[in-house]
Amino acid sequence: MALDQIFITRKFGPNAEQEMILNMGPQHPSTHGVLNFIVHADGEVMEKAVPEVGYLHRSLEKIGEMVSYAGFMPYSDRVDYLAAMFANEGWALAVEKLLGLEVPPRGQYLRAISCELNRIASHLIALGSTAMDIGAVTPFPYALRERESINDLIEALCGARLTYNYHRIGGVAYDVPPDWTPLCRAWLDHFEKVLDEFDRLISTNEIFLKRLAGLAVIPAAMAIDYGLSGPNLRASGVDFDLRKAHPYGAYPDFQFKAPIGRAYAGLSRGGKVGDCYDRYYCRVLECRESATIVRQALDKLPDGDFINPKAPKKAKPPAGETQSRVESVRGEMAYYVVSDGSERAYRLRVRTGSFTAMGIIEEVSKGLMIADLVALIASLDVVAPEIDR
């Protein structure tokens, strides 16, 4: 079927005389990347929306088998360009497991600080774009303003603003600059007030609440069956966060909550656990928790090396296989790596939260309005690089 083709079909579906098949994408601004959805609709009501992926495939996993272990670190940024720190960390953890290499405490804390700042930055894009996708333009510049402040901090830390390439096998690339910590604390003080302002601007807006309340509900059992993870899973009421369930790095040293869905829109507005609003608001709450983690990490930042001095310049782990898992912005990001004893991975496989989220759209979209598909996609916070790799 041609990408620009829209036609009436008389062959499929229970309403064969009325069913329309059309494309949303692959360039639609509300599909959060180069994605396409084959929409089967009867008028404005969808019978289903089938994701069609593959437009952004870049052979990242194959590249990981062609370059050295250290050389793949900048490529890992491209697994999720909005959450590159987590892609860096997941790759570093996998190689460190193969090498049996320990990360110094300071390096672990700097990883946590950089990752949680990146989580806030990515969530701000998700929150602003969710509002914008359904017609509220004003919140997006507010979110971008705060994201730029985070980018300033991260640029001072590692020299980059998007694809960071900050983590290294054995630690991180750079220590914090001398004046960085007070600047970060000052921004945290500012940001907590901004979140209250953001809530007043859009989160508690009556039109926004009613627009998302009770929409595209994903029950807990369905979320588990379809392999959802991260905020999309927790919004359905499932209390699972890798940072707590299987702690790694410095996270055992921090006190924080993993927000779960509680019908935040309110029953009076038709809100249900696992609806679009819960997925939105869980991310708002996660921004607050990430700020709390960064504060604790700055307060307890250990002295010492930020990278293991024994980390090899050319990693050559013994033959074997391993898996690493990190709680990324869009859910669990897992690396499966097979080593044959050479300087390059024999096999690399990456599992991401956006890819698993795409699988549930066809089921959840049934019976929704076409306009609601935009809200559903926005609430799942999928990004195309994580889907295709």
* Contacts for 26-35: CB closer than 8 Å, 24+ residues apart: 26/52, 26/55, 30/133, 30/374, 30/377, 30/378, 31/377, 32/129, 32/377, 32/378, 32/381, 32/382, 32/383, 32/384, 33/382, 33/383, 33/384, 33/385, 33/387, 34/384, 35/382, 35/384, 35/387
- Tell me what pLDDT residue 170 has: 93
Cα torsion for 177, 181, 187, 193, to the nearest 10°? 170
CA distance 175 to 167: 11
Reading the block at residue 102, the tokens are: 């320990």
C-beta separation of 139 from 283 below 8 A = no
CA distance 88 to 73: 6
Sequence spans of domains, the chain: 7-52, 60-388
CA distance 140 to 142: 5
H/E stretch holding 377: helix 370-380
CA distance 389 to 387: 6
CA distance 364 to 223: 11
Sheet with 36-42, side-by-side order of all strands: 7-8, 20-24, 36-42, 45-52
DSSP string, 100-152: TPPPPHHHHHHHHHHHHHHHHHHHHHHHHHHHHHTT--THHHHHHHHHHHHHH
- Tell me what pLDDT residue 15 has: 52
pTM over 0.85: yes
- Tell me what pLDDT residue 35 has: 83
Instruction: Give the amino acid at 311.
Output: A
C-beta separation of 65 from 347 below 8 A = yes
- Tell me what pLDDT residue 58 has: 83
Architecture of domain 60-388 in CATH? Orthogonal Bundle (1.10)
- Tell me what pLDDT residue 19 has: 78
CA distance 202 to 209: 9
Written as tens digits, the pLDDT of the chain (389 aa) is 443 444 444 444 555 567 788 888 776 665 667 888 899 988 888 899 898 888 888 889 999 999 999 999 999 998 988 899 999 999 999 999 999 999 999 999 999 999 999 999 999 999 998 988 888 888 899 999 999 999 999 999 999 998 999 999 999 999 999 899 999 999 999 999 999 999 998 989 999 899 999 888 999 999 999 999 999 999 999 999 999 999 999 999 999 999 999 988 888 788 899 899 999 999 999 999 999 999 999 999 999 999 999 888 898 999 999 999 999 999 999 999 999 999 999 999 999 988 889 889 989 989 889 888 889 988 998 888 888 87
CA distance 199 to 70: 42
C-beta separation of 284 from 326 below 8 A = no
- Tell me what pLDDT residue 136 has: 87
